[in-house]
Structure 1
Amino acid sequence: MRLISKYGFALGFLTAFLMVFSSCGSRKNMVYLQQDSTLLSTVYEQHVPTIQPNDILTIVVSAADPKVTAPFNPVSSMGGGATMQTAELAQRPTYTVDQEGNITLPMLGKVKVAGLTRLEAIEKLRTELSQYIKDPGVNMNFNNFRVSVLGEVARPGSFIMPTERVTVLEALGMAGDLTIRGVRENILLVREVDGHKTMHRLDLTRQETLNSPYYYLAQNDVIYVEPNKAQINNSKLGANTNIIISIASLLITVISVITR
């Protein structure tokens, strides 16, 4: 019986030691943007995503005389029985950018906006509208500026961003930040440009990431945080726990029979 107790104690101690050791981490693997000699650049601080095919834009035309904007905001021409809430929603018509990069507006017809920033597209529409409206105003917003965050974060999912100027850290913050098991040095960013998917890696532990052209996100970006080795090993251990317990029980039984 003493032999069995020794084997059981040794097995338990070894398992606990391996679990604790495998979960250990160092500061350099955990802390974001650690101080180093990197010189921070402002090259990408003015980064603004451009409009892409399949984007959904909300466009509202305004002017000093609201009546002249009615043809350009067709859904706003409603009967007097409409509720205030319905009328407010109707003031925000949406347009989908087609595969050629155009949107089709009333009276203006097709207008190419792909490749332009939101502000550039606004100025282009104002120029086009000026032949019909004096000093027209244009309010344009993305309806589908969505970023997906997957992997070792607290709340993985897809998030609609309130603005097109968003950083990878802000997106991770919306997902509840990385878990303790997430690899901070090898964040994967998947981006689609002109129909082609590209993959880029970011090291959040280094300040030089702030200088990366991929620090600011584009619409439909996907961020993936991979698990660390300890988490992978733990998943393997969890999958084989029943087998290990069965083998251990069998060994103890055999030892018990032999030592009687």
Structure 2
Amino acid sequence: MILLDGKETSATIRAEIRQETDALKAQFGRKPGLAVVLVGEDPASQVYVRNKERACEDCGILSIPHRLETATQHELEGLIQELNRDVNVDGILVQLPLPKGLDSQKILDLIDPNKDVDGFHPVNVGKMSLGLPGFKPCTPAGVINLLKRYNLDPACKKAVVIGRSNIVGKPLAMMLSQAGPCANATVTLCHSRTADLKAECLEADFIFAAIGTPNFVTADMVKEGAVVVDVGINRTDEGLAGDCDFEALKDKVHAMTPVPGGVGPMTIAQLMVNTLEAFKLHVGA
């Protein structure tokens, strides 16, 4: 089995970005800037933000944190508008979920699409659906990048995506089915109302699991030699677990991501890629 090592791959991507940001800083006189907005004290969100700040440091990207204990909808909208106007801010990331009482979609809709490095703005979602250039959500884009790095091309293959979230499942299905590198797959998007999920999975050459249920994908659901990408990160009494039963699958599949150390690091690496691209867009590089 080929272990799809997202940790190692993301380190390579970060080093590549650092070389480019150093050269761009020498040319344009400043680093790319990423503003990260965190509201509240959610422990998981705190960890994610710290990881993103460390990634910025590795990549030569200026991290511009905005940590707010509390905020009203009006205050948060005002901050986003201020960041949209700030010429030193190339990317804006609002850490989700926001505390209860705040309208996440209204906040995301306010972000300048050219600074939407999370790829959640309706303009960028629309561009993605049409196959036009624009920022793509970091997790599915990171998954595609990981496949590219391991020369695992889903073209002309059957791919099953389990999970229809706006953050992972839907965009990943769109990206896999489009024309282009590491795409051109025949995609089935499955979810909780799929009639016979096992039958769908057994036909798949590529399985992408993003449902948030530990060890949901078992060995009897996967055919010999399939490629399995596990997007899930679930906290259990035994520690972190993915959506796929890694131990049961490792001797059956051709390639698979571990949890942790698979898709997670690639998500952050893709955020750095998007921030660099936003900077280049703003300075005309």
Q: TM-score, normalised by structure 2?
A: 0.22
Q: TM-score, normalised by structure 1?
A: 0.24
